[in-house]
Structure 1
Amino acid sequence: MKPNIIHSIVVCLTAALPFMVACSSQNESLPDTTDAALYLNIATLEQTKSGVVELPGNEKMHSVRVVVLHENGTVEHNRHYSLEGAQEKKYIILKVSPNEKKKIFLFANEENVSVMEDVTGENQTLTDFFNSYNENSSGFADAVNGLYFAPDYSGGKPIPMSSMYEIDFTEGKVEKTFYVVRVATKFTVNFMNWRNEEVTVTSFTLASHADKNFLMARVRDSEQNRKFFDGKTWIEWLKDVSDASSETDDYTTTEAAGWLKDYELPTQADKAKTYTHGTVTVGKPTVDINYPDNSKPGVAKNVPVFYLPESMNLKKDATDGEQEYTMSIQIQEREEPFTFPLPNLKALFRNTHVVVNITFNSREIMVDVIPYSNVPLEPVFGL
């Protein structure tokens, strides 16, 4: 399951204290030995590994906000950090009051949420919402969990990210990596052509995605999820999925980890939206008759990559929350499009990366879907 964005690749980084201090001029001064301290290594859910394509800038952090709540729910810290360019990690040190449980809310790229709605229907920017909570303010957790918005991923805009952790400060300091999770799903569509002429895809569509997401993931505390996570938080589960999928691209790894299906979308979301992509020209193959293994399929000059909101389209007659999404491909030589449910895709929770490999042969189209992956596989599932 290679959650490249998405259900995502994760590298847990451990940083020495001197490096953390040097990395951020906005950190508080080094705490005294009597102070409680929070050492945050904030990272995107997947990190770039050797041999893996560099993450695009819109999938990285351009700004970070940290909100720390006391055990009674009031705000202890509400700090915003502007980053110098797109970053995959940010180190922050905060003095905190000791001997209490805290909630730590993390956000990235809040500037790309221009219109945020809450359960009352009030509209405001996400930054305005955050700035309304000062030190000792109450009610933040309930308010932020009710926020939802219509994401705008166009033009390479940075993708909003969020997460929440609960920490028990029984010792003088907590030092760990905290991950932010993208409020988006990613699709990469690879076209491979083995016909003896170019193929023009006049359009392709993906049906039944949502148009609005909660800012914070709304994973239900249900019996299904408790059994599924087996004592872990959903972020810990997502990290483990990422670690496993970074070792192998075999779809059996995806199936073994399972699918997070029991989560919520805003009731105001339209779940029946259809994404439409325009013309894609897929070149002719390169065929070496003498050495067939050297033959290569024709590919699209620009591989279609697009982002959609977290979605939930339940499969007909499914009893466990399994979902289904339908793709249609219109090619120039046919009057009717090829229409089919995407195989191997059972849920579309945030931070999922779906790689769709479509192969044109002389008489058929082969479709292979690889969720959570950023490395194309040889086709193993055909329609």
Structure 2
Amino acid sequence: MFKLFEHIVYSIIACVMFAACADRAEMTENTGHLPAGSLINLSFAVVVPDAVDGERSRAVVTIPDDNNYFEREANKYEKLHTLRVIILRPSANGTKVVEHNRLVTFSDDGAILSDVLDFPVRGGETKTVYLIANEAAVDYDFSGISKGSVYSSGTFENLTVSPKGDNGVLLYNNSENIAGKTYIPMGEVYDFYVPNPKEDNDKFSAGTLFVTRAAVKFSFSITARDGEDLCLKSILFNGLADREYFLPHNTVYNPAKGNPGTQKPGTETTGRFITSYSIPSDVNHHPFTFSFDKPIPLSAEPKELLPVFYFCESKLHAAPSSDGSSAKSPYSIGITLTEADGKNELLLESVPLPNLPILPRNTHVKVNISLTKANANCVVDIRPYSEVILEPDFGL
């Protein structure tokens, strides 16, 4: 029997703190208040996932509850390597112009290698802030956007990423024997009002902002409970998309993103679930086969398989059941087995995943398989992530 599936939603967080900057040359003479449009400084602290002990499981993948435990990133390629901050401000003719475009780089352990996260911005207006992490994985020249230039509405929102090879759906391969591994891209966009400072050294905090990894990954744990002569040849997953938006698109989180400025830095939630999202309308969904160099002998001891493959988020619509009472699962797996002597190949195909209704970005699907020669059943569990705040001069 198959016992299955861990669905992990995790995120990296950027926490933004505003402190009023003194602009003494523009101080009014008697009031002591700064005039409208005076500068305040925008600075960042960075938050990363932290592991929490204990295992709990649940069947529903879209609504968070107390039965969760938290994990951290699996490797350095799931961390921040670069972070570009692009800030837009409104212009007199109703367009938005670039107020800042700055790239900050990090070491493998998360320490900031270049620049400081400090941005003087005009107060008294609504800002649009794009946080773009690990941009080298995105086919777009963000560095070519100059300060003061007019931003064309929807430019970043409509950027897409897609597999570059001939495999159809494999977005990034970070396997051990692969040269030139890819840092997983991530990003978010925020709109919020920055008030005018009332006096010198006035402060405004925008609270917690986060960025979301634009990838899905899988791992497997397989046990043969009554067929120790079985070997695993391949695993097929049905329903992976061949393209996705770079930035989260019409994405709804639980807990919600919230209104910047309503939380103090350091009061982050312990994880966010993606409950709704959009993908490009012309996306196609395909199967992907996890194949192995040679058949893997199976036994009552779990066999752990950790392919470092990343895919686009997908959004299949479930087909109605034959009696019309409920929808069938949109996702399924197939498993190819052989006996120890390589003979009598056995295919378990189209095994549904009834409680994996969506497959959003920032998700790790851990497949726990308990099998026999006769049948397979699957269940989905969840492991979201908690966060730890680190000040800018500490690194990650």
Q: Give the TM-score, by structure 1 length.
A: 0.68
SS of the residue corresponding to residue 155 of structure 2 reads helix
In structure 2, relative to structure 1, the CA distance for the partners of 1:231 and 1:371 (3 Å cut) is closer
Aligned residue in 2 for 1:121: none
Match of 1:75 in 2: 98
Three-state SS of the structure 1 residue aligned to 2:380 is strand
TM-score, structure 2 as length reference: 0.66
Which stretches in structure 1 are left out of the alignment for 5+ residues? 18-29, 117-125, 246-256, 286-297, 375-383
Counterpart position of 1:308 = 311
Partner of 1:379: none
Identity score, percent: 23
Q: Deviation string for 1:129-149 (max 9, x for gaps)?
A: x12211111124421112112
Q: Structure 2 vs 1, CA of residues 37 and 103 (structure 1 numbering), >3 Å: closer, same or farther?
A: same
One of 41, 62, 66 as aligned partner of 2:45? 41
**Amino acid in structure 2 at the alignment position of 1:311:** S
Indicate the SS of the match to 1:368.
coil
Q: Distance in 2 between matches of 1:140 and 1:107?
A: 17
Are residues 1:170 and 2:195 paired?
yes
Show the counterpart of 1:249: none
**Equivalent runs, 1:291-370 vs 2, <5 Å:** 298-317=301-320, 324-333=330-339, 334-361=345-372, 363-370=374-381
The 5 A counterparts of 1:187-226 are 187-195=218-226, 197=228, 199-219=230-250
SS at match of 2:106: strand
Deviating more after overlay: 138-147 vs 8-17: 8-17
Question: Do the aligned residues in 1 keep the contact of 2:133 with 2:186 (CA within 8 Å)?
Answer: yes
Partner of 2:214: 183
What do the CA deviations read for 1:31-79 (whole angstroms, capped 9, x no partner)?
Answer: 43764121222445xx022444653112111111000010331100000
Matches within 5 A, 1:20-31: 31=21
After TM superposition, list the pairs within 5 Å mapping 1:244-255 onto structure 2: none
Q: Name the SS for the 1:81 alignment partner.
A: strand
Which protein has the larger Cα radius of gyration, Structure 1 or Structure 2? Answer: 2
Question: Which amino acid in structure 2 is aligned with residue 356 of structure 1?
Answer: V
Classify 1:266/1:11 alpha carbon distance in 2 versus 1 (closer, same or farther; 3 Å): closer
Cα distance in 2 between the residues matched to 1:358 and 1:346: 19
Amino acid at match of 2:220: V
SS of residue matched to 1:348: coil
Aligned length: 309
Q: Which amino acid aligns with 1:148?
A: T
Residue 103 of structure 1 aligns with an amino acid whose one-letter code is T
Which structure's relative contact order is higher, taking Cα pairs within 8 Å and 6+ residues apart? 2
**Alignment RMSD:** 3.9
Whether 1:97 aligns to 2:122 is yes
| Greater fraction strand | 2
The one-letter code of the counterpart of 1:267 is S
5+ residue gaps, structure 2, are 1-5, 24-33, 54-70, 164-170, 175-180, 198-203, 340-344, 386-396
Contact 2:329/2:352 (<8 A) preserved: no
Contact map agreement 1:186 1:308 (CA 8 A) in 2? yes
